[in-house]
Amino acid sequence: MRIAPATIGGTAPAALAETAGRRADVEWLRVGGMLLVFTLHAAEPFNPWDAWHVQSPYQSKVFGELALFVAPWIMPLFMALAGESAWFALSRRSSATYVRERLLRIGLPLVAGLLLLVPPQVWLERRLRGEFEGSLVAFYPHFFEGIYPRGNFSWHHLWFLVFLLAFALVTLPLFQWLRSPRGRRFLARLAPPCEGPAGLLWLALPAMGLRLAIELLLPRVTPLSYDWSNRGLLLLAYVAGFALAAEPGLRRAVDRHWRSALGIALGVSVGLLTWAWPGNVLGRLPAPRSAAGALLWAAYAGGAWCWLVALLGGARRHLERRSEGLVRASVLAYPFYVIHHPVVVAVAVAVVRWRLGLPEAFLVLWGASLATTVALCRIVESNDPLRVLFGLRRRGRAAVRDPPLTPGAGDRAARE
């Protein structure tokens, strides 16, 4: 659904330029998903199932359940939206231009984040645990010593940009082939089975097969296997997002099956949460290459893929309205992702020292981190050098030609 600029009251020209011609459903998914990721990170200090960077003495399995509910599908969702963005980006530029822009808009924020945003997080963690007593300036040279967690060098939350940049480069030959007549015919042949009565199964089978292969062939390799961010499915989600943007029949399949997918996704999530509640879930994972492990990870992947179908189809069906607030939030989702994690870590260090109980500590951490991150994003929004550093176009440029990169990205596409 396209909305003319006049429809969005007093929105700044830069915001309009960044979002003109884009679908409201994608913007809702970007913003809603980003708030979920932020909430998940704000809950991590209280999660007994995860040794996060900062841990509160007060733990609750409720926060562990929140992580288990969101983790299977939230980052694959962002990657699917990024794949959709890649389709429209390649439709308007050469391969060389596409690679150059990806290096600038993903690689530059990645390098800036590694050098400027991650070291303070590791420094705060080391100080909190009594492993370093000096200043941040004194710690900075030590940041490059060894690999985290034994050493200090890490990409922390910027791992997503590492994967996104790698996928953007390695999939380019495949994507160019899929854009060719032969590739389009190949995608068109995939659509009819997916639109049929058993279409949801066909949509989910690749994810389940990949996850089972990881479990059976690489059971002890991380982060592909026992990482709850489920990074083994990210490349598949990226390619799937590209295919959905390219082939109307696949979009029709998602629109047809999203209600069934939602029911299955909820059922799988309830089952996983019920299984996880007693004891420590990480200590109760099935043995590698076991029947129980195969069942768990197949259900995990199938549920994650059903969530993707449900969210993409349901959003296309119901989230059609845009507002000035949504437009501005969608524009800033990318820098929000890059900035929010060090803010949460810094505020968490203070909250843990205050010894607040639950839920007060979580509410203070969530509210203070959100306010600080939004304020920093507004500074980025108003400064052209910072906009470029954090992956945005300069103000006044015709950004409508360049879809947002993600986490969570999309572009104009007629509803099918």
Q: What is the rounded distance in angstroms from the CA atom of residue 52 to the CA atom of residue 282?
A: 14
Q: What is the rounded distance in angstroms from the CA atom of residue 16 to the CA atom of residue 7?
A: 11
Confidence band of 280 (pLDDT split at 50, 70, 90): confident
Residues 325-349 have a mean pLDDT of 94
The pLDDT of residue 294:
87
CB 207 within 8 A of CB 304: yes
Structure-token pair, residue 73? 């599908």
CB 401 within 8 A of CB 98: no
- 153: helix, strand or coil: strand
308: nearest Cα among 81, 75, 73, 32: 73
Look up residue 6 and give its amino acid: A
The single-letter DSSP state of residue 198 is T
Confidence band of 414 (pLDDT split at 50, 70, 90): very low
Look up residue 76 and give its amino acid: P
Q: What is the rounded distance in angstroms from the CA atom of residue 187 to the CA atom of residue 194?
A: 11
Residues 31-47 have a mean pLDDT of 96
Structure-token pair, residue 3? 């909305």
The pLDDT of residue 405:
58
Structure-token pair, residue 162? 């590492």
Residues 338-364 have a mean pLDDT of 94
- Mean pLDDT of all residues belonging to the chain: 86
Tell whether the model's pLDDT for residue 47 goes beyond 50. yes
175: nearest Cα among 247, 73, 251, 252: 247
Interval 55-98: pLDDT, tens: 999 999 999 999 999 989 999 999 999 999 999 999 988 999 99
Q: What is the rounded distance in angstroms from the CA atom of residue 174 to the CA atom of residue 137?
A: 45
CB 3 within 8 A of CB 330: no
The pLDDT of residue 40:
95
Tell whether the model's pLDDT for residue 19 goes beyond 80. no
Where are the domains positioned within the chain? 5-401
Tell whether the model's pLDDT for residue 399 goes beyond 50. no
Confidence band of 12 (pLDDT split at 50, 70, 90): very low
Residues 92-110 have a mean pLDDT of 94
The pLDDT of residue 30:
94
Structure-token pair, residue 392? 């945005």
Beta bridge partners of 147: 153
Confidence band of 397 (pLDDT split at 50, 70, 90): low
Residues 242-269 have a mean pLDDT of 96
SS3 content of the chain, % helix, strand, coil (to 5): 70, 0, 30
User: pTM here?
Assistant: 0.87
Interval 201-237: pLDDT, tens: 999 999 999 888 887 877 655 443 344 445 778 999 9
58: nearest Cα among 68, 36, 40, 43: 43
The pLDDT of residue 404:
56
Residues 345-367 have a mean pLDDT of 94
Residues 6+ apart with CB under 8 A from 339: 117, 373, 376, 377, 380, 390
Residues 115-131 have a mean pLDDT of 95
The pLDDT of residue 407:
55
Q: What is the rounded distance in angstroms from the CA atom of residue 116 to the CA atom of residue 122?
A: 11
Tell whether the model's pLDDT for residue 415 goes beyond 50. no
- Omega before 193 cis (within 30°)? no
